[in-house]
Amino acid sequence: MSIYGENWGIIGHEWAVELLANRLESGRASHAYLFTGPSQIGKATLALRFAQAMNCTTPGAGPSPCGKCRACDLIGRGIYPDVQVVSAEGKSIKIEAIRELQQSLSLRPYEARYRVAILLDMQLATNHAADALLKTLEEPPASTRLLLTSDASESLLETIVSRCQVIPFRPVSANTLTEALRHNYGLYEAESEMLSALSGGRPGWAISAIEDPDILKNRAEIMNGLLAVLNEKRVGRFNYSEEITRHTDLPLILEIWQSWWRDVLLLVEGSPVTPVNIDHREELESLSFQVTSEEARRALLAVRRTIDALEKNANTRLALDVMLLEMPYL
């Protein structure tokens, strides 16, 4: 555990906390940071904590946020005038949002040491918005810090990435996450182990599953649908395809299916790695005796191809039809 871990209240990512705290302490913080990694892994939370740490007013608390002073409190609640959060409106971050941000960054801070702009999911920025932001990154106003998050640095313009210090977030280890869930939420060991595995090392996902029981219920329904369709012939598969084509949770369905076939493949090949879907361990094991590793691999590739195709705006129904026909028939 990092010496700063307690105050920052971040689960995992110790090295990132340490790096930011050290930079702050030595007065060598970069003008811009880019946090990359999957959703709900902790990027936005760490960005907020860093903004708090930069502006905390409690003597002696630095380089960590005290969490209690007026600045820490208001930043944590998203209502501090000198810390602005820009995120997607609808499906994209638009140029108007960037212009508005630039307008306010051009003013002196109201009360903060640093004006901080947190730009969440920059991969959703339109080309115009990204170009506009580039100007601010090239010549940041004094006492301004920019904190960007993105799913991957490859999703952004290289010119943006090269102006930021990139901090890649990796999945939090199962032990760290399990322990934190037990400690912070009073869960039983089995429960915290299950959530930690299902989350794929993303604390934000685990916490939202604790706070909203519908997430697990919804997931169980999706799992049942996935398992049932393997017993179907062509017609049954096309019906299922039609059913999920318009499903608002389609990305989630594909993500679960991807983790499912990865688990099956690991089991068929006798890998010692713990499966993600440990709440369906029996079904996983039974399936791993019914399919060959070729079949599991083909199914996994079919899901990945579908995810790629849909990101490129392929015809959803057609992509799902093709994918479902690639699944093993039980």
Which residues contact Zn ion (rule: CB under 5 A)? 56, 58, 66, 69, 72
Residue 185's identity, in one-letter code, is Y
Residue 47 in contact with residue 118, Cβ under 8 Å? yes
Residue 266's identity, in one-letter code, is L
Closest alpha carbon to 303 in 235, 236, 256, 239: 256
Taking the least distance from each CB to Zn ion, the nearer of 37 and 65 is 65
Residue 81 in contact with residue 40, Cβ under 8 Å? no
Taking the least distance from each CB to Zn ion, the nearer of 53 and 167 is 53
Taking the least distance from each CB to Zn ion, the nearer of 112 and 267 is 112
> Tokens in use for 229?
């369709």
Cβ of 131: how many Cβ atoms within 10 Å? 15
Taking the least distance from each CB to Zn ion, the nearer of 76 and 203 is 76
Closest alpha carbon to 174 in 189, 184, 154, 159: 189
Minimal distance in Å, beta carbon 63 to Zn ion?
11
Minimal distance in Å, beta carbon 278 to Zn ion?
39
Provide the edge-to-edge strand list for the sheet that holds 144-150.
Answer: 83-86, 115-119, 144-150, 32-36, 165-168
> Tokens in use for 309?
């195709």
Minimal distance in Å, beta carbon 69 to Zn ion?
3
∠252-258-264 over CA atoms, to 5°?
A: 135
Minimal distance in Å, beta carbon 142 to Zn ion?
23
Helices and strands: H and E segment counts in the chain: 16, 5
Minimal distance in Å, beta carbon 68 to Zn ion?
6
Residue 225, burial from CB neighbour count under 10 angstroms (0-12, 13-18, 19+)? middle
Taking the least distance from each CB to Zn ion, the nearer of 66 and 320 is 66
Minimal distance in Å, beta carbon 111 to Zn ion?
13
Minimal distance in Å, beta carbon 60 to Zn ion?
11
Taking the least distance from each CB to Zn ion, the nearer of 56 and 86 is 56
Taking the least distance from each CB to Zn ion, the nearer of 58 and 155 is 58
Residue 102 in contact with residue 45, Cβ under 8 Å? no
